[in-house]
Structure 1
């Protein structure tokens, strides 16, 4: 990476540098075999990357640590602190990392942000400002605040240090599963996807990028051939509700070995419930979006009722890892299931 301010994309070397920078500062990911029968039978071998157990409850801790530690090393952390706009998870990670560096954090959230995330932000000592009804409005207010106060502006997903930090997750997954064929990851603005895909493709691992059908910034950008505004209307919009994907994500999604798919909200909520009922894993809807790609009645190009954009149908024996990216959720929304 050529510099903190100038870089606009990431390489595998950036991910490796991030891994060195944040070593010992984040919780290493664990992986779990979701269906032991599938590992020896004709179906796919499905693994779950339990990143919802990360500090602050999501993968965002990786990018936040990489961002703050890089600026700390460069001597570019201002007295005014750091500011960020977020649907919740990126703000939590930024506030957590800022507290570790004794830096003030001012976090802008939409007024629709889940109360559970707002409460946790304040518990980390962040100043929380609820602004507007969308992430875009919170982002505009955050930019104005940074320009006025001199606070260092971070970003929920569209920054090379943030994306490279997220990519360290794939490095750890690959260390656990060196024979992995495919990684499945949820996409909002594209920071996690960009980082994970950059590392995955380096290792020869295919990538499935999953978005809610009515919250599809990356899929819409691929369709248009450029970054475009996209409507946000999904049960997972609190975390995946970016109106525009990053240019980094669009470039990465156009590489060979990447597939963009959509899933309906009904499949997202069903997958979330199945994780709880079958495994006692409680995640937010953004995390279950990735799993929904495998459970939503997937259809290959030209097959079934779909047009190839909906869901993902793995091949027999395919080794797949689904990233469970976050767990900042209201547990009361999980219906009591049967004991396992």
Structure 2
């Protein structure tokens, strides 16, 4: 984790940790203010810089499959580092994200209706072209880069007891869990309609899950990653599931109370608290990661 922090220093923003105010008794880690509006920029830089150090990246550059945010991050990092980038996205990827990926100079190819199909297309492309594959969430450098979010939280506020984080494929969860091991508990929050980690914990192994719901574009992995599954085996998190309506309400609250234009996936962690699905103990010091802002602002209730 420390190696990742040193590698990405100066490439990514150290985002603020807002202290509690008013009726909210939680700290907010404002990772939606990161380059590209998403935490994945950390892992993207760590992956690409590590590959440059080893001479792994050639003329074909890098390739990634993404629901949108990982593609944004990898495309941005590639542009900054002068690397060619190819991004495979499902047909369901939000146009607001796809347009931004193209603005960062990446080649964007739409494939299939969900992330798993885009993932297979990216794997095939890497084998055929020689491009370096950058995983959206289940790769050591990507996980370690995401884990710098947890390091920053605990450096800025060492007394934090609990970090609440949304889970899709689990890269952010795995990285933060590693950073917080022995220092803070993790609450892993997932939409009921795409709960990869929760189902894996019940099954005792990663399993395929159905993918749907308002947060599926960001949290819609079909199966939790190996690093996330290993992290829960080492120290099980508090697993919380939230409904779509909880996520919508939390997103509205983030806008109305903080003017944070979060996407649904980023509001999922906060939804655990606003819905009452996770109730902190008296005096418990809780930090919530608001991890992305790549949303259509027209869908926000701007009158609140």
Normalising to structure 1: TM-score of the pair?
0.88
Residue of structure 2 equivalent to 1:316:
282
In structure 1, distance between residues paired with 2:232 and 2:275? 22
Alignment match, 2:100: 120
Q: Equivalent residue for 2:30?
A: 50
How big is each residue's C-alpha offset from its partner over 1:221-280, in whole Å with a ceiling of 9 and x where there is no partner?
111000100000110000000000012111211333621110000000000001111121
Cα distance, 1:144–1:257 mapped onto 2, change above 3 Å: closer
Counterparts of 2:55 and 2:202, CA distance in 1: 41
1:16 aligns with 2:2: yes
**Farther off after superposition, 263-272 or 26-35:** 26-35
Q: How far does the alpha carbon of each residue in 1:148-195 deviate from its partner, in whole angstroms, 9 at most, with x for none?
A: 111101110010100000001111111111100000000000100000
Maintained 8 Å contact 1:189/1:245: yes
Task: Give 1:296's aligned residue.
Answer: 275
2:16 corresponds to which of 6, 26, 30: 30
2:201 counterpart residue number: 222
TM-score normalised by length of structure 2:
0.98
SS of the aligned residue for 2:181 comes to helix
Q: Deviations over 1:286-307 (max 9, x none)?
A: 110000001213xxxxxxxxxx
Task: Tell me by how many angstroms 1:332 deviates.
Answer: 0.5
Conserved? CA contact 1:284–1:327, under 8 Å = yes
C-alpha separation in 2, matches of 1:293 and 1:37: 16
TM-aligned CA distance change 1:37 to 1:111, over 3 Å: closer
Residue 264 of structure 2 is matched in structure 1 by: 285
Determine the structure 2 residue equivalent to 1:207: 186
Root-mean-square deviation (CA, aligned residues, Å) is 1.1
**Could you say which residue in structure 2 is the equivalent of 1:335?**
301
User: Max radius of gyration: which structure?
Assistant: 1
Q: Distance in 2 between matches of 1:84 and 1:158?
A: 12
Secondary structure class of the residue paired with 1:254? helix
Aligned structure 1 segments of 4 or more residues deviating by more than 3 angstroms: none
CA distance in 2 between partners of 1:313 and 1:148 (Å): 50
Matches within 5 A, 1:65-80: 65-80=45-60
SS of corresponding position for 2:75: helix
**Alignment match, 1:237:** 216
Cα deviation, residue 29, structure 1: 1.4
Map 1:87-106; keep pairs closer than 5 Å. Answer: 87-106=67-86
**1:29–1:173: 8 Å Cα contact kept in structure 2?**
no
SS of the residue corresponding to residue 234 of structure 2 reads: coil
Question: Displacement, 1:78?
Answer: 1.4
- Kept in 2, the 8 Å contact 1:253–1:259? The answer is no
Q: Please, which moves more after superposition, 115-124 or 95-104?
A: 95-104
Q: How does 1:132-281 map to 2 (within 5 A)?
A: 132-202=112-182, 204-256=183-235, 258-281=237-260
Provide the C-alpha distance between the structure 2 equivalents of 1:61 and 1:250, rounded to a whole number of angstroms. 22
CA distance in 2, matches of 1:192, 1:97: 18
